[in-house]
Structure 1
Amino acid sequence: MIAGLKTIALPFLIWFYIAESAPLAIGCYFIAVLFQSCYLGPTFALIQTLAPLRMRAVWAAITLLVINLVGLGLGPTLVGILSDVFAPQYGEDSLRQALLVIAAATPLAIFCYWQASRCLARQQPGRNTARSPAAT
């Protein structure tokens, strides 16, 4: 589900970065954020499901730490560095180009979520979301 929703969000994110008009950019941004933020709920639900009972809070805290270190620490810093690198070539559009480069990593995130879902499905063959008639 997360891979699919992030795949839907990616074109809107790119359109947001290249939009020339403010209304178009705001509309694209709204849709992109709506679909991109969908990973939080399922990710934390999965963590709470997979973590041993006494480790759930620790697993959630570690996940939040990683999300914040990457999303609020490394991400903006990397965008700033790339913008400075692109400034001589792109001038005022260097920030736009840096954001597009970072957005180019989204397919990697999509692939990782997809692979994780396949791995979890293989590890839990007895768990099926649809109830079979024999189970009732």
Structure 2
Amino acid sequence: MSKVRLSSPIALMIENCRAGGVSDQVLLECLRSEDFRSLPPIGDGKMNFDKLLETANEIGNDWESAILNGYEFSFITITGIRKLLAAKYRKQLNQDYDQDDLVIKGLILQVDEIASLRELISRQWNVIEETEHDEQLKRVRIELKYQNS
């Protein structure tokens, strides 16, 4: 079964909710009822859940399957990757990694985090293991798969 492909704003909303301590079950209940008042402030506190839900419904995103069975980004920019790294992995630009044009380098992740990142962004981006810190931590580089030379 292929994974649901989500637009960046929708996928980042899910990851921000998860990072904010919202369980998948609570998030699904809010989405089904279209009532987000029970959620704590998420991300910068300015997330417009109603607009995101409207957008997802217009696009035809399958929320439930994405949340329960996993998803991948249909398209994600380098800025979107930075937002994903901040929300899901608590990694910040210039603190935990550097960016050189369309390449993120010096990022240290656990082996399971590398696997989950690959599942999310591998349609467009390569996640390349560079060096090993120990059995569980590795330094990785993220680069665009297709670039004009």
Would you call these one fold, judging by a TM-score over 0.5? no
Bigger strand share? 2
Normalised to the residue count of structure 2, the TM-score between the two structures is 0.24
Where is the helix percentage greater, Structure 1 or Structure 2?
1
TM-score by length of 1: 0.26
Greater length-normalized contact order (CA 8 Å, ≥ 6 residues apart): 1
